[in-house]
Amino acid sequence: MGNSTLYEDLIKGYDKQLDHSGVSGDRIAKRLHALSEIGYTEPGGVKRPGLSHEEKQAKELVKSWMEEAGLTVKEDGAGNVFGSLPGQSEGPAIASGSHVDSVPNGGNFDGPLGVLSALEVAEAWKEFGFVPEKPYEVVIFSDEEGSRFNSGLTGSRAMTGNMTDMEMKQLRDYDGKDLAQVLKSYGSSLEAFRESTRDLSELELFAEVHIEQGKILEQKDQPVGIVSGIAGPAWMEVKFSGQAGHAGNTPMAGRTDSLVAAGEFVSRLPELPQAISETAVATVGKLDVSPNGINVIPEQVVLHVDARDIHKEPRDLLVERIRSLASEVAEKHRVTVSMQQNTSITPVPIADELQHELAELLTKQGIEPVRIPSGAGHDAMIVGRHIPVAMLFVRSKDGISHNPKEWSSLSDCIHGVHALKSFIESRMAKA
């Protein structure tokens, strides 16, 4: 899908009956198109790495729209942008937003849709001269995707104080630049980055709209769904060690083939998650064999397991079952095994009360409430460690994301805006 036709492709087939309550499909389509031109890649995608010139340019454009909508705009030392609207009463704000950075050759909806949906709520209020009960903030987080440093969610981690000095020092980008150098070229500094940690008592709730990155809504034929929780990944390095030998001269009996052991481990791994939880998953996505010769019995296999669930207890139980399976397989094939857990991020379940509220609001919109676990990480996952969060997914064609073919129809996107607006107004009315 070429960038030159993104607006036309979005507006084509749009259900104009969804233009009500101050929400404009045309405005969202034009803004998605305008952002798609920043960092445009030839297949119709975008390349906007975190803390890059392109990400900054996209933020500056959204900041101008925020100001037009009557928001007071600030940017912190991590590059996070906050557009604030005062409420009838003072106190903690309700916030919504996402990010505008992308993976290399990414799509036009992952991130920008959440930012523009949050901004559209403020635009709709402005059209009717509506002043919300409580303060409202539209947020753009820096470097969510992590394509710059191979370590994402940088802006939300900075805002919540979830990044240590050691982590800051270890970051290196694709050009070998450290965080201080990257921040300097962006127009900030390491000192300002550290000072971007925020008093989170200023925020009551954070809501994020995002494309689904899966096919459940498509299968259920619903435009919008409710995220039931955000999975926390546990990454494990599993190393099987046997003995190398000549593939032709070593009899089958008595071999200690590390790849045979690893092969059984990989083939049995999918049985584990479904025995523990409906939302648990486990994947081997990387595997290294050595010596990796066509006529050599593999001496060592190092593989990496990604285990996830939206609840911590079953996720940790899954990790233990993976350890047991690795030990069992190693003993059976007379090889040794060592295991190391490199990453363990706490999952963030979404409060039942918020899910129920979203379900009632979607039902009023004529949408069947579908609850979906998010296997991917989001800024809401980081923020959700500190304050309540809610998430809405918008239907994604063929479940494609991080790809120029990423696509959500404009009608589905606007259904998402209406759901977000209703939810925020509902939360505003609560004491």
Nearest 10 degrees: Cα torsion 117, 122, 123, 128: 140
Task: Confirm if 315 and 308 have CB atoms less than 8 A apart.
Answer: yes
- 135/421 Cα distance (integer angstroms): 14
Reported as half-sphere exposure (CB side, CA atoms, 13 A), residue 168 has a value of: 19
Q: Are strands 93-99 and 136-141 parallel, antiparallel or unpaired?
A: parallel
- CA nearest neighbour of 118 among 92, 133, 99: 99
Measure the CA–CA gap between 110 and 160, rounded to whole angstroms: 22
Sign of CA dihedral 179, 180, 182, 188: positive
Task: Write out the two tokens for 178.
Answer: 């450290």
Annotated binding site: 99, 110, 145, 210, 402
Annotated binding site for Zn(2+), which residues?
Answer: 99, 110, 145, 210, 402
3-state secondary structure of 198: coil
Degrees, nearest 5: CA angle 202-149-280: 75
Residues 6+ apart with CB under 8 A from 248: 295
* Residue tagged 């990414």 (tokens): 106
Q: Return the ∠ at Cα 361 (arms to 355 and 363), rounded to 5°.
A: 100
**DSSP H or E segment with residue 418:** helix 410-428
DSSP string, 255-323: ---HHHHHHHHHHHTTHHHHTT-TT-EEEEEEEEEES--TTB---EEEEEEEEEESSHHHHHHHHHHHH
